[in-house]
Structure 1
Amino acid sequence: MTKPSIAQAARELFGWENLRDGQEEAVSALLEERDVITVLPTGAGKSAVYQLAGSLRDGITVVVSPLIALQRDQLNQLDETPHAPRGVAINSSIGERAVEEAWQALGEGDAEFVFVAPEQLAKDDVVERLRRLKVGLLAVDEAHCVASWGHDFRPDYLRLGDVRARLGRPVTVALTATAAEPVRTEITARLRLDDPVVVVRGVDRPNIDLVSHRSVSSDDKRDRVIDEVLALPRPGLVYTATRRETEELAGDLEQRGLRAAAYHAGLGARKRSEVHDAFLEDEVDVVVATNAFGMGIDKPNVRFVVHASVPDSLDAYYQEVGRAGRDGDASSAVLFYRSEDLGLRKYFVARSVDKERAAAAFAAIEASSSPVRAKDLAGELGISSRSATGLLNLLAEGGAVSMTRAGAKARAGFSPREAAEAAEEASERRERIEQSRLEVMRRYAETRDCRRRVLLGYFGEDLPDPCGHCDTCRAGTAKNDEADEAELPYPAGVSVEHVEWGRGSVVDVESDRITVFFEDQGYKVLALEAVEENRLLSRV
């Protein structure tokens, strides 16, 4: 379909007079049977890509969306547009009758979009019914979850590649607001995309002012966080590392006269919903939360996002910061940290494998005459389903088992001991990568260069001059001598081979150093002088 035709369909079906930058390119590629990874800033219309492409393609559009609240918002968008196709949701919040009505609407052609959580796609009957309906487009929203949430949080996200294969490998679009080049590579591999078109548009949010404060003690940090929140325009969000901190800090803010509420996964569903709704309705000034709060929050007037603890990666940080200033007005992103905070985060990402249990899991799978599901393995080993799922994911990543729609099957050539060692190696690799992301986060927090330039450089976007809208620029420490990448031997995006660490990709370039992401080691900062003197890198 030509671009004028795409633009015409956008007007007639959705009432969009103009498509935003990147949308038309992504839709055009999907209509040409190409898989697409779309990285657009928060508020830049990622959902419009699959809505428009799905409307113009034959077959139903399956939208994988991680939160029920987010699915409701996306359904409402379709319902509020008179000429747009109808959508339905299949999730745990609706009864069996409503689920069957949704299937009926899809089967009879009364609905063209179906929204599901990844957990639903772990059910054989759901995938089989979708397969029979002929899927024309698979849209994976919040696709960074494939890489950044780890193996224990949303294991079903990691199996979407198998689901895609069962659905007949439909044209697929992966959508996210933040994905550095290594994350995009992992998304491609996990979803088994076929040479995807990568559409990346500026992740910069110039209306968000960036600030980092280092504190010497926890008491000093808490006092400074409270003073900052009191001084900033509201409403806003404060992120902490632990559930206890959300309760304590929310209480402190309430004592200072703010309408503050705590939010974390340990609260009951009703309480979480009350806080969520109160924030959207401007009935609270500040929500103090763990990272359990935020995804799918479409509130345009959030004036600040304060981090009272350092996040575990720049990916996570910018995802959370992006909840500020969606209306385009001036907003603030303020990071408070101590060096000890990074140690706490390292504790969170540190993982050890019970090799004896991993060996027992492999032995049970090997001995079974049929594929083994996580719940069956949990029962046999006397462990939780979550633990069993984690073991299966590590055994699969280590290459010892293969995951099929019916469950896990042992691969030939492994003994239980060797399978456990392979799982341990996979776990150690993941830990190295996550630890290296923490070091990149440290570099952002401690830089004296333009903070925005460091941030954007991580996501592969060049900012030649200091931004003028961050604390380092105001302090006069930001550099003006950014390197000309055309004159450097290793520009951003180039693939390299290290003599010890193997294949990698350059993700950031400075005048005297480069940052490289290695598949088995994570992020490494290399001094160009040392690289040249010791011939550490070669371009591939």
Structure 2
Amino acid sequence: MFKRWINKWRLRRITRKKMHYDALRPGQETAIQALLDGHDTLAVMPTGSGKSFIYQAASLLITTGPTVIISPLIALQKDQVEAIEEQSMGKVVLLNSALSAAEWKKAFADLKGGKLDFLFLTPEQFSNEETLQRVREARPALFVVDEAHCISEWGHDFRPGYARLGAIVEALGHPRVLALTATASLPVRNEIVERLGMHNPRVVVQGFDRPNIWLGVEKFYDEAEKKRALTERIREAEKPGIVYVGTRKHAKELAEHLRTQNIETVAYHAGMKPKERAQVQTAFMKDEIEVIVATTAFGMGVNKGNVRFVYHYEISDSVDAYYQEIGRAGRDGEEAEAILFYNSKDLGLRSFLTSSGKVAVDEVEMVARVVHEHSGVSDPKELKEELDISQTRLTQVLGYLEELGVVTILPDGKVKPYKKPSNLSKIANEAVRFHENRRQVVRSRLAMVQGYAEVIGCRRKYLLNYFGEEMDKPCGFCDTCESGLIAADSSSMPFPANSRVTHTSWGQGLVMRYDEDKIVVLFDDVGYKTLSIEIVINNRLLTAVK
């Protein structure tokens, strides 16, 4: 108890001295204290809420070894390095390909000598055995995973390099783990905890509400009318702003259309050359471009305070993606607006783009058999060539086989056989079942973002409830609130929100929300389902889990 009091006193001192704040923001102290108490911690907090200060302060208080930070983009890493240096938090190094051999050597020497407090890496750099060994020898006290939603296969920014981080954590002796993300629904949070192998984890979910962003949906059945409405909205809106579309083709076509309407617009998508993308992003950040029409490639690392609107010309593939994208508006605290230009036909495009295709039983058997025939360690690149299979599919199948205890994926990404199954066909069928469950969850997440577009009631309440935050009353700052529509009150409903229930066919799930005469449940195996309350009661489809 005395030690905890001392830590709190030291934390307040660091807050005032380093950050020049009178007090910590909501969620920060809870997450820091969880780490100091020895818990692995997942902090889900919006951009601008001070997630980086959690590991910076914890590092100063733990002091038994360096802090390793995994981040997906060098631009993000540079911003955090500059912040650490400006606040004199400690000695920091960012390892990337821009460093010379001599600089790498000095960084490792400083790490070994205890002269480094913070080390920034991308997950892919652990593919180098020397890097893993040097970090292991330094015995890090804290392992930080930034943008942790990238670890989730049904997160909208899944990055295969993140899938190996659990093995890397164990290879480093399992230092305390801190996972940070600005957006993660319950399935994504669960997968982050599971894939990182977090010990006795504490999950801190805080502050999803962005009350300065006005939320709205405009519905269309005609594409030409939708385009005209978007053009008018942009022409009248305060700028700068972002328009999100579903494909590269649409980004180019819509940007060209807006330019013909005398609206200064540039397209941004993953098909552009890296230098060209960087130029567009820099110009937008400097207010040299009023409107950018972008795919989801324009996202992480974009921290521009004065974005006055985020419009979606096409619906996102999940509420997670939608909420992160609209969160790029109004970061300066001033009013901004987020509008979805909704045509139900767009759901077909999203369904196609998010479909990962079926995994066949013989495909799984083939991968497992080849890995075990090699006996030793296999390189996934060589497996890909030998099996004539896509890298994405190979990564999926190997992940399922690891979950089933058939193979082991090493920290450097290579694969070795673990336990040869006595019944390979049975294992393959189980892997296919895993895959089908994931596909069902992906489809159900698309249904939830459709629910946002079509909800009768407060849109903000719908969004916050999706992420596990309750609102006592409608927000008053969205189109449905302004129209006077009120969502159903769940207090008089048969199963309380956030309670566990069992369905006669789909197994256990979590009650998420009520919409008029419907109940929305997130089932563990099949994802989100929307059910008629009357049918549920009359047929006794759900029972409470005691």
Q: Give TM-score, length-normalised by structure 2.
A: 0.93
Partner of 1:478 in structure 2? 486
Q: Deviations over 1:29-86 (max 9, x none)?
A: 11111111112122111111111112221211111111111111111111222x2112
Matched ranges for 1:128-139 at <5 A:
128-139=133-144
Residue identity (%): 41
Q: What is the RMSD of the two structures over their aligned residues, measured on CA atoms?
A: 2.2
Which residue, 448, 455, 477 being the options, matches 1:447? 455
1:125: Cα distance to partner?
Answer: 2.8
Which residue, 318, 327, 330 being the options, matches 1:325? 330
Secondary structure of the structure 2 residue equivalent to 1:175: strand
Which residue, 479, 489, 496 being the options, matches 1:491? 496
Do the aligned partners of 1:240 and 1:308 also contact (CA within 8 Å) in 2? Answer: yes
Change (3 A) 1:87 1:443: same
1:93: Cα distance to partner?
Answer: 4.3
2:198 is equivalent to residue 193 of structure 1: yes
2:63 is equivalent to residue 55 of structure 1: no
2:444 is equivalent to residue 436 of structure 1: yes
1:144: Cα distance to partner?
Answer: 1.8
Q: Deviations over 1:322-364 (max 9, x none)?
A: 1110100000111112111111111122222254443322211
Matched ranges for 1:363-374 at <5 A:
363-374=369-380
Change (3 A) 1:399 1:264: farther
5+ residue gaps, structure 1: none
Change (3 A) 1:418 1:93: farther
CA distance in 2, matches of 1:114, 1:310: 38
Secondary structure of the structure 1 residue equivalent to 2:544: strand
Which residue, 382, 385, 394 being the options, matches 1:379? 385
Do the aligned partners of 1:155 and 1:393 also contact (CA within 8 Å) in 2? Answer: no
1:372: Cα distance to partner?
Answer: 2.0
Task: Choose 386-395 or 124-133, whichever is displaced more.
Answer: 386-395
2:341 is equivalent to residue 341 of structure 1: no
1:101: Cα distance to partner?
Answer: 3.0
Q: Deviations over 1:132-174 (max 9, x none)?
A: 1011111111112222555994122122111111111111111
Do the aligned partners of 1:36 and 1:198 also contact (CA within 8 Å) in 2? Answer: yes
CA distance in 1, matches of 2:130, 2:482: 58
1:193: Cα distance to partner?
Answer: 1.2
Do the aligned partners of 2:142 and 2:177 also contact (CA within 8 Å) in 1? Answer: yes
2:544 is equivalent to residue 538 of structure 1: yes
CA distance in 2, matches of 1:445, 1:297: 25
Q: Give TM-score, length-normalised by structure 1.
A: 0.94
1:394: Cα distance to partner?
Answer: 3.8
CA distance in 1, matches of 2:313, 2:106: 46
CA distance in 2, matches of 1:531, 1:122: 51
Tell me which amino acid in the other structure corresponds to 2:81: L
Matched ranges for 1:88-99 at <5 A:
88-99=93-104
CA distance in 2, matches of 1:385, 1:310: 28
Which residue, 205, 230, 234 being the options, matches 2:210? 205
Secondary structure of the structure 2 residue equivalent to 1:135: coil
Partner of 1:424 in structure 2? 432
Change (3 A) 1:488 1:96: farther
CA distance in 2, matches of 1:386, 1:457: 32
Do the aligned partners of 2:251 and 2:293 also contact (CA within 8 Å) in 1? Answer: yes
2:472 is equivalent to residue 467 of structure 1: no
1:113: Cα distance to partner?
Answer: 0.8
Change (3 A) 1:388 1:235: same
Partner of 1:166 in structure 2? 171
Partner of 1:235 in structure 2? 240
Tell me which amino acid in the other structure corresponds to 2:490: A
Partner of 1:75 in structure 2? 81
1:230: Cα distance to partner?
Answer: 1.7
Task: Choose 451-460 or 371-380, whichever is displaced more.
Answer: 371-380
Change (3 A) 1:96 1:507: farther
5+ residue gaps, structure 2: none
Do the aligned partners of 1:465 and 1:482 also contact (CA within 8 Å) in 2? Answer: no
Partner of 1:264 in structure 2? 269
Q: Deviations over 1:446-466 (max 9, x none)?
A: 112111111111112122222
CA distance in 1, matches of 2:506, 2:345: 29
CA distance in 1, matches of 2:105, 2:231: 50
Alignment length (residue pairs): 536
Secondary structure of the structure 2 residue equivalent to 1:323: coil
Do the aligned partners of 2:220 and 2:226 also contact (CA within 8 Å) in 1? Answer: yes
CA distance in 2, matches of 1:398, 1:236: 46
Task: Choose 12-21 or 179-188, whichever is displaced more.
Answer: 12-21
